[in-house]
Structure 1
Amino acid sequence: MPLTPAVVLRDLTFSWPDGSTPVAGVSGTFTPGRTGLVGLNGTGKSTLLRLVAGRLTPTSGTVTVAGTADYLPQRLTLDTDATVADLLGVRAVVDAVRAIADGDVRPELFDVVGVDGWDLEERAVAALAGADVLPASATGVLDRRVGTLSGGEAVLVAITGIRLGGADVALLDEPTNNLDGSARERLHELVRTWRGALVVISHDRELLELVDTTAELRTGALTTYGGTYSQYEDHLAGQQEAARSALRDAEQTLRREKRQRIDTQERIAHSERQGRKDAANRKYVKAVVDDRRNAAQKSQGSRRGAAAEAESRAREAVAVAERAVRDDDRIVVDLPDPDVPAGRRLAVLRGADGRETVIAGPERVALTGPNGVGKTTLLERLVRGGGAGRGGGTRATAQPLTERVGYLPQRLDGLDDGATVLDEVRRRAPHVAPRELRNRLARFLVRGDQVDRPVGTLSGGERFRVALAGVLLGDPPAQLLVLDEPTNNLDLASTDQLVQALSSYRGGLLVVSHDRAFLRRLGLTGELVLGADGSLVASRPLADVAQGGPAGR
């Protein structure tokens, strides 16, 4: 007996005020169980989840959810003033209980608390401790600001809140972003044991191997495949091989029909020349010549029409076959030469014990360590010239030795939401002509009207590509690239392009990432491990880095 759908989409369309339409006429269902939602950057996956969650209102069409839905946004770490209670979704109840405890007896407060809310604060703190996110012994844990948490801690807090809330449908947008190895394992276990409907957007292959169903959003259509992501890939590979074979056959047929049309035209032309020659030589009487001419014209017209029609059918078959073969756009990153002499000192990092590590061009170093030890804070101190970071408590320090530092922050909150994409990137490259910047942005798949859209209307993937473009298209080019979790919002194909570009980059590179597969592909010259005590363990042997040892796990 078929399962009752958990989510039903009917001709769902959403357009932004500027007229851009990330979701157009999408119909389909999400069934109970675990579904992985995949698709290239910019296809509308995040917008679709926001529509299902009720965070956006459809321009047309309908969304039907069986029960309640809860949503983990991709950009939750941007709201740095929110509290842990906000991330858990318990703030209203907790504030009401506290107000009542302080003597406020307004009836509306009791309505907020209800029957089951009196011990919600204790249950929330216990849930955080049980998930090994934040210790229950910490004072005022629910009042901590998101800005004081690492990106990974913020994500885990929000996921704990979704589980605590017990919604019928859970919607997770890139939940493994910023998570270290142990946190990812906890999330994977959470997904394995999930009860109810779960829809998750992710580029994490390990997570996508835990789903029951894979749904792809592509060119406005939602297509569902039974099985995990690897099973979906196998199915797609077979489908595409068949499509390429069909395209080859169609192209061969078109070439044959073209040749036949040309042969037909040559025979007709020869016949016409012979007719004119016969008439000129008066070989036949005029009446016979006229009869033959009329018959030949009818025959030739029929042959021309048949040849043209056959070629047209063959051309249309090629067009149909071409549409079935995927030729997806990918970002193309071509980094300029930053002119960094070998051995040029670019930055110095100091551990809590005062020992220094110098990054010189063109070295490429990974900074690793568990969530919450202060990796992002250390990067911010480096970028800000040794100034304070946002939090994290690390006692390690950092100092740039070049003014040309390009920084891609983990939270992507350095962008001006009110500025257009073009104006935002021009801040980094003020001397580059707008037309040239448009051409360069196109290589990051930011094209046409997108360039004139406000940054605040972009999807997570689009926002990331704009931030990445701002860093990599800077003029003059950065001598040291500092990248904090650069693969968080990239699809797998775009990650390949980024790896290729960074592999040929001739400046210094300092990168934070929990994606060991990504780090192994960068050709690292070393790794720095930041400990919770502020220690900064100097580069381990390169072989250890390449093998993806325990650092950061």
Structure 2
Amino acid sequence: MYITLSQISVQTPSRRQLFDNLTLSVGSERVGIVGRNGSGKSTLLRVIAGLVKPNSGSVTATGSIGLLKQDIPADWTAAHALGIAEEHAVLSRVIAGHGTGDDLENADWDLSARIDAALATCGLTDVSLERKIESFSGGERTRIGIARLMIEAHDFVLLDEPTNNLDRAGRDAVIDLVLNWHGGVIVASHDRALLESVDRIVALAPQSVRNFGGGWSEFEAARAEERERLAGEADRANAAAKSARREAQSRLENQAKRDKAGRATAAKGSDPKILLNKRAETAEKTTARGKALGDRAIVEADAKRKEAQSKVEIVTPLSIELPASDIPSGAQLVQLDQVEAAVGNRRLGPWTMRIDGPERVELRGANGSGKTTLLRIIAGFGSPAAGKVERAEGRIAMLDQHIGLLDPSKSVLENLRDHHPDLDNEAAHAACARFAFRNIEADRIVGSLSGGERLRAGLAVAFSALNPPWMLILDEPTNHLDIESLEVLESALRDHDGALLVVSHDVSFIERVGFDRIIEL
């Protein structure tokens, strides 16, 4: 039982190369796929599943393959989403006494037990199979997709960011699925806790496709070692370039001294003129040859220096620094007293809480518990159905999962100017540059940005006010980030002096940023 990819090459419709000459074999093992947004992780899974034809190369599989379905149509029923609508209808007719002879012959008497077991494993109980998908949350839809894979029991399963939108229980269910699957698993993910469960990691990049044995910890150690090695090579290349310049200069200076001594000898007139002319000609040739050698050595050393530096830049993540909030230690940021929210015909709450000073607060709760609704009320984007809310007006910023404060049809610079019209052009460009949108990068259209770039643009807008926010609210900020962007965010938040109120089911992110207390809904 295996999947073999042989010399696979794939380009985007715009002819951008995703990967070239990719060769990979997967057996009964767990393989993680990592790479920056746009590197082709999802495309690779779709190539393996037979949904995308590569530009060249071949895919061979000796077992059945199931791909986690993420885009389930809203008008489907749960039975359709689970892939058992027809089989369930047959069984229902037989049980009701309306079955035909073919129904009796084709009835799967174990189907109900398999459905119940799969749904229970995924944390879904008492689910009507006739319920429309549109009534399920994003996390519940992902669980249904996972349950389908369990019912179908393929030899290989392909998972594309399976923990997005899932609460901690859902993430644990995915990790259990990966660890206990009877066949092979290929998972593209930025979830480092999930990646700890794999046997090896394949890293996609435009220049290369590389294999690393072990899970995330081993990959992280290998990556750190590579960065250190490349930094050392860059240092040595810089030193060699400086040395080449010094040697060339020294060679020219020594030749100049010899030429000066020759001219002094010629001035005495003690040697024949023909000999003096020969010496002068030889000196000129020697000087020219020495300069050419020195120039060539400098060019070669500079080329090696630039190559080494470019390799360092590829593996070195961006770095951004959030402006200081200058929050007073005793400032009251928000106070809720018996606050309730109405969502459809549901009533959420009551919630009572208070956040003061530069606290770092993690807000926890299962899918559907009202976390996003509560964050919006705290930020002033929603009104409570009951209770009282006090907040530090104008000193709280919120970035939702989709960075909704940005207009996707406008550039980063235009968005920033729309929110902060008091900034002149120079100040607006400087604000963009602080978040790594330098020069023409600030003119990029938000709709064309990756998840990490969009988050940086959102932070640029949120933190460019004359008075920076005292508290930053983030709702599942890691959902659409690649690992490199995630690490940039972690570093910025870890060093920030302001208050944080964050909802995230990413355990690694929570641990690396560090929080003072947890509020559980």
Shared topology, TM-score over 0.5? yes
**Which residue of 122, 128, 134 corresponds with 1:145?**
134
Q: CA deviation at 1:456?
A: 4.8
Provide the residue aligned with 1:526 in structure 2.
Answer: 517
Q: CA deviation at 1:330?
A: 1.7
What is the percentage of aligned positions where both structures have the same residue? 30
Q: CA deviation at 1:283?
A: 2.9
Deviations 1:173-212 (A, max 9, x none): 3323343433332211110123444322223333222222
- Could you say what the CA RMSD is over the residues aligned between the two structures, in angstroms? 4.5
**Which residue of 235, 245, 251 corresponds with 1:258?**
245
**Which residue of 352, 356, 361 corresponds with 2:352?**
356
Provide the residue aligned with 1:130 in structure 2.
Answer: 120
Residues 1:401 and 2:399 are matched in the alignment? no
Provide the rounded CA distance (Å) in 2 between the counterparts of 1:258 and 1:491.
41
Provide the rounded CA distance (Å) in 2 between the counterparts of 1:62 and 1:299.
56
Q: Is the 8 Å Cα contact of residues 213 and 225 (structure 1) preserved in structure 2?
A: yes
Provide the residue aligned with 1:296 in structure 2.
Answer: 283
Q: Is the 8 Å Cα contact of residues 407 and 481 (structure 1) preserved in structure 2?
A: yes
Q: Is the 8 Å Cα contact of residues 15 and 22 (structure 1) preserved in structure 2?
A: no
Provide the rounded CA distance (Å) in 1 between the counterparts of 2:247 and 2:494.
51
Q: CA deviation at 1:238?
A: 4.2
Provide the rounded CA distance (Å) in 2 between the counterparts of 1:80 and 1:478.
40
**1:348 aligned partner, one-letter code:** L
Alignment of 1:127-526 (within 5 A): 128-135=118-125, 137-139=126-128, 142-145=131-134, 148-149=136-137, 151-166=138-153, 169-325=156-312, 327-335=315-323, 337=325, 342-348=330-336, 350=338, 356-383=352-379, 386-387=382-383, 399=389, 401-404=391-394, 405-410=396-401, 418=409, 422-423=413-414, 427-432=418-423, 437=428, 440-441=431-432, 443-445=434-436, 455-473=446-464, 477-492=468-483, 494-503=485-494, 505=496, 507-520=498-511, 522=513, 524-526=515-517
Structure 1 pair 234/435, CA: closer, same or farther in 2 (3 Å)?
same
Provide the rounded CA distance (Å) in 2 between the counterparts of 1:396 and 1:477.
30
Aligned residues: 501
Secondary structure at 2:211's aligned position in 1?
Answer: strand
Provide the rounded CA distance (Å) in 2 between the counterparts of 1:252 and 1:65.
49
Q: Is the 8 Å Cα contact of residues 3 and 25 (structure 2) preserved in structure 1?
A: yes
**1:88 aligned partner, one-letter code:** A
Structure 1 pair 4/447, CA: closer, same or farther in 2 (3 Å)?
farther
Identify the range of structure 1 (440-449 vs 117-126) with the bigger mean alpha-carbon deviation: 117-126
Q: Is the 8 Å Cα contact of residues 199 and 213 (structure 2) preserved in structure 1?
A: yes
Provide the rounded CA distance (Å) in 2 between the counterparts of 1:143 and 1:10.
39
Q: CA deviation at 1:292?
A: 1.5
Provide the rounded CA distance (Å) in 1 between the counterparts of 2:427 and 2:50.
40
Structure 1 pair 280/473, CA: closer, same or farther in 2 (3 Å)?
same
Q: Is the 8 Å Cα contact of residues 346 and 508 (structure 1) preserved in structure 2?
A: no
Q: CA deviation at 1:418?
A: 5.0
Provide the rounded CA distance (Å) in 2 between the counterparts of 1:360 and 1:412.
25
Secondary structure at 1:145's aligned position in 2?
Answer: helix
Provide the rounded CA distance (Å) in 2 between the counterparts of 1:429 and 1:87.
48
Q: Is the 8 Å Cα contact of residues 425 and 470 (structure 1) preserved in structure 2?
A: yes
Provide the rounded CA distance (Å) in 2 between the counterparts of 1:132 and 1:204.
18
Q: Is the 8 Å Cα contact of residues 19 and 209 (structure 2) preserved in structure 1?
A: no
Deviations 1:13-60 (A, max 9, x none): 2155xx8x47264634352332212234554544554565567777x5
5+ long unaligned stretches in structure 1: 102-109, 389-394, 531-553
Structure 1 pair 43/451, CA: closer, same or farther in 2 (3 Å)?
farther
Provide the residue aligned with 1:542 in structure 2.
Answer: none
5+ long unaligned stretches in structure 2: 95-101, 341-348
Q: Is the 8 Å Cα contact of residues 336 and 477 (structure 1) preserved in structure 2?
A: yes
Secondary structure at 1:359's aligned position in 2?
Answer: strand
Provide the residue aligned with 2:22 in structure 1.
Answer: 27
Provide the rounded CA distance (Å) in 1 between the counterparts of 2:49 and 2:151.
17
Secondary structure at 2:279's aligned position in 1?
Answer: helix
Structure 1 pair 144/46, CA: closer, same or farther in 2 (3 Å)?
closer
Q: Is the 8 Å Cα contact of residues 348 and 399 (structure 1) preserved in structure 2?
A: yes
Provide the rounded CA distance (Å) in 2 between the counterparts of 1:482 and 1:168.
42
Provide the rounded CA distance (Å) in 2 between the counterparts of 1:449 and 1:168.
48
Deviations 1:54-89 (A, max 9, x none): 67777x55674637755448xx59x89566649936
Q: TM-score, normalised by structure 2?
A: 0.77
Q: CA deviation at 1:265?
A: 0.6
Q: CA deviation at 1:269?
A: 0.9
Provide the rounded CA distance (Å) in 2 between the counterparts of 1:425 and 1:85.
43
Q: Is the 8 Å Cα contact of residues 366 and 524 (structure 1) preserved in structure 2?
A: yes
Q: CA deviation at 1:511?
A: 1.4
